[in-house]
Structure 1
Amino acid sequence: MIRSSQLIRTFSASVLCAAILGTAAPAHADEISDGQWFHSFLRTAEAHRITEGAGVTVAVIDSGVDVTHPDLKGSVSPGADLTPEGPGDGWTDETGHGTAMAGLIVARGRVKGMAPAAKVLPVRESKRGLGNTTEVVNAITWATAQRVDVISISLAMDFDDPTMRTAVAEALKADIVVVAGAGNTPSQNVGFPAAIPGVVAVAGVGRDGQHAKISVTGAAIVISAPSDEITSTGLGHGWRKGTGTSDATAIVAGAVALIRARYPDLSGPEVVHRLTATAVDKGPAGRDAQYGFGVINVVGALTADVPPLSSPTASTNAPRDPASDGPGPWTWVIGAVVVIGVLLLIVRSRRRG
């Protein structure tokens, strides 16, 4: 049986830390601007001189999107409501989480998204953002059928369900880039679907570019992005500040939209390869459990001369197969001992003869 308690939302800490900032007071306005620090950190103004993501559609699997927010006007297409309140267009949001994630991708106003010329396709998978595996799987399946370019999933589940793996595999087969949050502490492991090979599992970093304390770690991490004190669109035509890998996930999904707009002929794995090959390496050299391949470098991903992808899984979270490393040192030692032993037996036998 699948229980809703098996779902650990990546915004669990965001809900605790989030604040509705309102619309009028100058102090609020300053706080709103402060929470958009990720734009200067990622040099998105420079990136937007190259592309703003036009022609790309990002499915946001979440609590729905309030399309009446002025910063989202014209940026959200009719989607789907897969909750008991559906069918519908996904334009209803009771928690504000989906509205905030959409804003980080396509907002154009007081706050600005990563790909303001792209479109968000909302997929409301649960009323309060506390759905189960079946609801998330249905949302992925529906988004895949719409042939979107990117699927953004700001949630993490502690249950490895075969049906979710199948749904993700179908999305990847359809050449869709799937981006998902790794999860927030106190969880100890990367959640699902982020832990599924092929998914871009996103961890968080703070303003200093260092690993965010709220972000879980694990071998499945692919990329890191800003996650702390991020402002975006909120309910009631206001703004919301939150902290968590949910925000980092939406930021990466927006960056992927920019890459897909800039390089429309690249396959999904090639898009991810460009994302990881240009990342700013942090922590131990190479890929690691805190940062993955590093912190996202949006301008580099749009401009760098990136070598071609050598294999479909080279830039994803596919686990390393030890067998692919060839024989280890102890294999050679044991083999040598066996060969020497056989030779000694042969020599001894000949002497006896």
Structure 2
Amino acid sequence: MKIVGKLLIVIILLSGCNTSINDKEYYFQEINLEEIWEYSDGESQTIAFIDTGISYEAKNLYGDRIIDTYNSIEDNKDVTDYHGHGTQMVSVASGNGKEGIWGIGTNTKIIIIKAFEEGEQVEPLHIAKAINWAISKKVDIINMSFGSFTSDSDIESKIYSALQNNITVVASTGDYGNKDILFPAKLQGVVSVAAKNEKGTIWELSNVSESDVVAFPGVEINSLTLDNEKIRMNGTSIATALASGYIALLRDYYEKNDISYTNDKIIQDLKSLQSQVNKDVNYEQLFLK
């Protein structure tokens, strides 16, 4: 009788703790992350983050999935993040719940490429080298949570080379609140990502244009600081990281179900979400076809 009583108590306690991952954040609910995870966790995909690197603490958190690193500034393996932006992007795209940060692609493999130091000034050569190195590592997705009003032919050439290798390049439209999206997001074939707010409409500071591919939540998004603390961030950079995680799940789903795809198909599918203007975006519809 005592054993039965204990079992009943356990059953009651478990039934009271049956909460959804969607309940944790508004953007999880909007994407319907819990349902999408039933189809994919992104395990077959590798995301290369071209950014400011990753903190020592975050590198330890995600170390089992970080398969390589490269510093295109100093041409070595040191990718220590002293700014914080790169660490935030990795946690948003690929966080697996450690330190309370959940990303989208919780089981994706990660490559860290440090191409700039302070998050503002960057040499085009370092970006071009970073893309070229990512191609050599046969990554699946390149996350570029940054942009510029100035184009660069060398970077453009390397991006087109990545696209020809069936690598999906994801880039931010910009946080200047105007219609001119930044480079390289404006390049044909690149997944350009605008940001939405909690209401599901375009964030007021997000650059937008008719050529945008997709918009993802980019307001009040949890990410990881250099000190392994939670911080809420706004911006198209954050939205881009979420999009990269989502694309990792999508590509993984295609591959596991023998669905033929190209970058053109991915862009067409993302555009079908109509996520710039539709508050009730059905993100999981691409997994139900």
TM-score bucket (shorter structure):
0.7 to 0.9
Corresponding residue for residue 177 of structure 1: 168
Matches within 5 A, 1:340-351: none
Q: Distance in 2 between matches of 1:185 and 1:145?
A: 33
CA distance in 2, matches of 1:204, 1:159: 21
Instruction: Give the counterpart of 1:299 among 281, 284, 287.
Output: 284
Number of aligned residues = 260
* Counterpart among 52, 58, 62 of residue 51 in structure 2: 62
Query: Quick check: 194-203 or 236-245, which moved more?
Result: 236-245
Contact 1:76–1:119 under 8 Å retained in 2: yes
| Alignment TM-score, normalising by the size of structure 2 | 0.83
How many Å separate the matches in 1 of 2:281 and 2:67? Answer: 27
1:155-170 to structure 2, matched below 5 A, reads 155-170=146-161
Whether the 8 Å contact between 2:215 and 2:276 is mirrored in structure 1 is: no
Partner amino acid, structure 2, of 1:140 = I
Q: State the distance in 2 between where 1:152 and 1:276 align.
A: 18
- 1:296-335 matches, within 5 Å, as 297-304=282-289
Question: Deviation of residue 297 (structure 1)?
Answer: 4.1
Q: If you compute each CA radius of gyration, which structure gives the higher value, 1 or 2? A: 1
Give the match's secondary structure for 2:68: coil
1:180 shift after superposition:
0.2
* Structure 2 letter corresponding to 1:252: A
Q: Which residue of 1 is the match for residue 187 of structure 2?
A: 196
**Offset of 1:232 from its aligned partner?**
1.2
1:93 and 2:81 equivalent? Answer: yes
Aligned identity (percent) is: 25
Deviations 1:168-224 (A, max 9, x none): 110100011110000011565211110111101110100100010010122331100
1:50 pairs with 2:39: yes
Paired with 1:121 and 1:175, the residues of 2 have a C-alpha distance of 17
Aligned residues of 1:148 and 1:176 also touching (Cα < 8 A): yes
**TM-score, length of structure 1 as denominator length:** 0.69
Q: What residue identity is the alignment partner of 2:112?
A: P
Counterparts of 1:137 and 1:189 in 2: how far apart (Å)?
23
Residue 267 of structure 2 is aligned to residue 272 of structure 1 = yes
Deviations 1:70-122 (A, max 9, x none): 653423222201123x41153x1111111110011111121111110111211
Match of 1:72 among 53, 59, 62: 62
Q: Which moved more, 1:145-154 or 1:181-190?
A: 181-190
Counterpart Cα distance in 2 of 1:150 and 1:249: 12
| Alpha-carbon shift at residue 271 of structure 1 (Å) | 2.5
The answer as to 2:236 corresponding to 1:251 is no
Match of 2:6 in 1: none
Contact 1:71 1:103 in 2 (8 A): no
Segments of 5+ residues of structure 2 without an aligned counterpart are 1-21
Q: Give the aligned partner of residue 96 of structure 2.
A: 108
Structure 1's unaligned 5+ residue stretches are 1-32, 284-290, 305-353
- 2:27 match: 38
Letter of the structure 2 residue corresponding to residue 269 of structure 1: D
Whole-Å Cα distance in 2 between the matches of residues 226 and 125 of structure 1? 25
